[in-house]
Structure 1
Amino acid sequence: MPLQQLAKQIEHAFAPIRQVLKPILSSPTVLGVWTLFVVASVGTLWWDLRNRNQALPSMMKAVWTFVVLYSGPFGLAIYWYSGRTQIPHDSVGRRGLRSTAHCYSGCGAGEIVGITLAQGILALSIGWVAAVTFGFAYLFGYALTIGPLMQDGVGFTEATWDALLSETPSITIMEIFAIGTDLLLASQAHMGQILFWMALVFSLSIGFLVAWPVNVALVKYGVKEGMSDPSEMGGDDSSSSQAQAAD
């Protein structure tokens, strides 16, 4: 009962914002424009990865692809600021962005699968939608950390423990806000409605924003190492690009 009352209080508090956002996120025009932005952003990312940033690890290329697919030009701006070999210098803020992007790529996929399955296909109650979506987000998020660690020779138990310690705070904060935002805006929507998908997209980016300061703190205090500095990988690509420009 207290949880239901809290949910109603939160819903009431955010009612004015919801009234503004729901018509926007239900608009076919907004969907069409957003789709064009995403296509253009992904195309720009892939062009840049192929022509100027081939030195980036394959995993990070996949991570940035997911980030831009989820968040369009917002995701592209994050890549441009923190993920390219051409960044002027690295910083805790940039490392936090890359760590958030890594977490986001897995958790975002889990959220999409969870909400589509629980709400869109099975039409479960709000509580079950939240529980199932959290479960998939944790599963995908941990897998994206455990898998690479095991490929590097770390045992399963150690890799799992490391993932639990380093990723749980980020995933938890990200998904509380992302899933909460989605359910606040579109808990009654079904898969055939534009609101279902646009609220999901919007909620993903909200999750990224609130998880970034958490990852900055985790990196700063050594809980997470953060992803490698891309500016240390760019010598060959930069020289190649300059040579091609001179030709």
Structure 2
Amino acid sequence: MNHEHHGAGAQQGGRALTRSAISATAHCLTGCAIGEVLGMVIGTALGWGNLGTIVLAIVLAFFFGYSLTMLPVLRAGVGLGAALGVALAADTLSITVMEVVDNLFMVLIPGAMEAGLTSWLFWGSLAASLAVAFVLTVPVNRALISRGKGHAVAHQYHH
């Protein structure tokens, strides 16, 4: 993943800031999507209700989202506690927005949660929910990065 624009975006604004926000959101989407898809698949395969499936998907999305942020921080020699602090500061709002949007989207599509793992309705709705979440989270990350917050906090460790 290319992270070279994060610092420039926080200082320059405009296109560089937007590129930085898109990159940060794509990074967040990667962790969220792994957790979201895994949670939805496990919950659906086990026949869980919507609430249990969504809770599992959210827990896993936060776990994988934070983990992907922590890896380069840990590689940079930062201790586990401090790396967790960086991940919490960098990704909490972004992951929260993404999770609220994509899970709400899934619940609002009639039959999507009950469709089953072999249904195009399930997979299409899940893909669409993540795409909508991405689009709605970019402005959140843009605002955070412009203030030196959010993913800008983790940028120094991505080299």
Greater RCO (CA < 8 Å, at least 6 residues apart): 2
How far 1:111 sits from its partner (Å)? 0.6
| Aligned twin of 2:10 | none
The partner residue of 1:218 within 124, 136, 144 is 144
DSSP-derived class of the 2:48 partner: coil
The partner residue of 1:105 within 16, 21, 30 is 30
Assess, with a 3 A threshold, how the Cα gap between structure 1 residues 205 and 104 changes in structure 2: closer, same or farther. Answer: same
Structure 2 residue identity aligned to 1:168: T
**2:81 paired with 1:154:** no
How many Å separate the matches in 1 of 2:139 and 2:153? Answer: 13
**2:46 paired with 1:122:** yes
Query: Number of residues paired by the alignment?
Result: 143
Are the counterparts in 2 of residues 95 and 227 from structure 1 also a CA contact under 8 Å? no
Where does the alignment leave 5 or more consecutive residues of structure 2 unmatched? 6-13
How many Å separate the matches in 2 of 1:226 and 1:98? Answer: 14
Pairing of 1:81-92 with structure 2 (within 5 A) = 91-92=16-17
Where does the alignment leave 5 or more consecutive residues of structure 1 unmatched? 1-59, 64-81, 83-88, 229-247
Assess, with a 3 A threshold, how the Cα gap between structure 1 residues 99 and 226 changes in structure 2: closer, same or farther. Answer: farther
How many Å separate the matches in 2 of 1:214 and 1:123? Answer: 34
Pairing of 1:45-194 with structure 2 (within 5 A) = 60=1, 91-119=16-44, 121-185=45-109, 186-194=112-120
Give the TM-score, by structure 2 length: 0.83
| Aligned twin of 1:15 | none
Give the TM-score, by structure 1 length: 0.55
How many Å separate the matches in 2 of 1:100 and 1:226? Answer: 14
Percent identity between matched residues is 33
| Aligned twin of 2:9 | none
Max Rg structure: 1
Q: What is the root-mean-square deviation of aligned Cα atoms in Å?
A: 2.0
Cα displacement string for residues 12-34 of structure 1 (whole angstroms, at most 9, x for unaligned residues)? xxxxxxxxxxxxxxxxxxxxxxx
